[in-house]
Structure 1
């Protein structure tokens, strides 16, 4: 069990089973609030062996040093962070990926998750991750022919990887919602149920240098589906999607900005999100100093 203090009260979290309790009747003085963001995502590398047209990850080569990552994780853990999600690029392409997960679980109380395209989740890697990962998110943008057109990999191969990954840890399905995938919502929800996923996370496409954000027609189709759909898998929507008026349920409404979430890119810059242009380099003084400087630079005083 790990505890976190913040503006919403006392938050208790168990990384082994995902158990959460919020004692919102507890009033905690501001000076005693946990300093770290509740959740931090870390892009271990920009490398990826897929070429999805709507990918937002930077395309220049960059990767984080494993020793630096471990040092940052220790800091975040001590400052009250509850979980870290590794991404990229494709995080499993980082040469020290399994080692980073293993030492993070052994040396900290953080919940360790990662987001992957799934095709590298073969038994050899999964064996190395036993006991080191608490949740796996797999990006699945459509099924069958739609998936194969967008991702360039056989859909049946993905199905095999999903079932194997589920034996290691609970899994979630991520779906980037755009004009190509909005018609696949029912099919992906059914897939999530088939592979015993714990969550279906919808990610309305955001504007990047190569693609635009979803247009009004796609947003309306998504909202209409949300109104009538009754999937058996828990639904979640990205914060960016929520900003477009999508229905969400936020159990910690007062914990906003960098108190809630931060992103560290593969070049070692802390940002308020993976889409944010402004960032602060993590220098020798550590990741918490960099987060403090980013708060000051962006006026994030939550």
Structure 2
């Protein structure tokens, strides 16, 4: 017999300060923002009325602006940018309702005015882990110094290496590699790698660069369809699956949910519904289940939790 909700409260009362507590259908989830440590007490049964209502993770596209023009980019090209004060308010809501972390993206979040101040505000006013995804070329040593202490993880996009990268992203690859030295001083970081017919042959070299630079994670992003492109083809998908099967790199290898078909995955919380795990807010302030969704619920003055309730009532992928 699993311990009851009374036991869940008893567990919570003995949890050391500094650990965030999230009560879910899977049990009591403990999270250390500083280290990224996750502990699931799955022997503790939590009454459904006590489940935290915010998703475990939320991503926020702060702006659609980007100074690169990658041909496979799925981000909207409509000019849009969020208000920093509203973003902090939304995240305080989600923090109060059990969310564990926020990932800022875009577009390119470095183009969002006051990005450093926003990260600092979220770090000081919430218990959320702060991460962001960037192409890396704007992360100067000075900017990295300002971000240190407010960010727990950085994701740097690196699709291909050398000439492949430069053809697709239009920036010097050597400059990106130099930037990784500064990123490493901010927080642990990972490499995001879009996999398509042009980049799949660079996987071995990309992992080597990532390991040498000190990355702790290598995230595979099979290219997704857009209005202009069909996404990853079956031949490339097969090559990717074979590469994953035959390689065991000395860093954490992960894959996006949207492109995980046919690849081995590990669900972090068994039984967790998609709507309990993740949500996304685009640069127009629309809450969606993922950044790939075309429709969602506009976040109005009632706040993010109210929009989440409407989204859940609509059903869909939740």
TM class, shorter-length: over 0.9
**Which residue in the other structure is 1:143 paired with?**
161
With the length of structure 2 as denominator, give the TM-score of the two structures.
0.93
Given candidates 290, 294, 303, the residue that maps to 1:286 is: 303
Within 5 Å, which residues of 2 pair with 1:102-251?
Answer: 102-242=120-260, 244-251=261-268
Q: Deviations over 1:150-170 (max 9, x none)?
A: 110001100111111101110
Output one character per residue of 1:255-297: Cα deviation in whole Å (capped at 9) or x when no partner: 1221100000000000010000121000000001101101111
Match of 2:111 in 1: 93
Local SS of the residue matching 1:167: helix
Between structure 1 and structure 2, the one with the greater Rg is 2
Gapped regions of structure 1 (runs ≥ 5): none
Unaligned runs of 5+ in 2: 1-18
Cα 1:287–1:97 change in 2 (3 A) is same
1:54 aligned residue: 72
1:100 CA displacement: 0.6
What is the root-mean-square deviation of aligned Cα atoms in Å? 1.0
* 1:54 positional shift: 0.3
Superposed displacement of residue 31, structure 1? 1.2
Please list every run of at least 4 consecutive aligned residues from structure 1 whose deviation after the TM superposition is greater than 4 angstroms: none
Displacement, 1:225? 0.3
CA distance in 1, matches of 2:268, 2:55: 15
Supply the distance in 1 between the matched residues of 2:209 and 2:251 (Cα, whole angstroms): 10
Distance 1:31 1:193, change over 3 A: same
Distance 1:155 1:300 in 2: 38
Q: Paired residues, what number?
A: 300
Task: With the length of structure 1 as denominator, give the TM-score of the two structures.
Answer: 0.97
Confirm or deny that 1:9 pairs with 2:27: yes
